Amino acid sequence: MGGGQDEPCVPRAHLALIERKLGRPCPRVDVDAENAPALPLFSSLFAEHLRPLAPALWGELAETIAPEERLPFLLRLVRAASSDAVIARMYPVARGK
């Protein structure tokens, strides 16, 4: 959807709704390169069936991060996981209440 020839990942009929809701014509969100290594850990924290893997994932991931960058890395992860957008997606409020 970024000007290339790729077909959209959602039905074309949904694209107008997505653009109205998100302000962009595609639901895809590209992750900053500095945050990409956090994706497996982030996913494991939110997927109940993957949650037991989180400690092992962090153990492996931590070895690839300089010691002085580990705390900032984890704090970025916590901020992302605590963001209004993530909380709203994970725990939607029933409409009409």
Spatial separation of the C-alpha atoms in residues 75 and 94, rounded to whole Å: 30
pTM of the model: 0.61
Q: Where are the alpha helices (DSSP H) in the chain?
A: 12-22, 39-46, 54-62, 67-81, 84-90
User: Closest Cα partner for 37 from 69, 83, 68?
Assistant: 69
pLDDT tens string 16-27: 888 888 787 776
User: Closest Cα partner for 74 from 87, 89, 58?
Assistant: 58
Task: Give the residue, 4 or 40, on which the prediction is more confident.
Answer: 40
**The predicted structure's pLDDT at residue 4:** 54
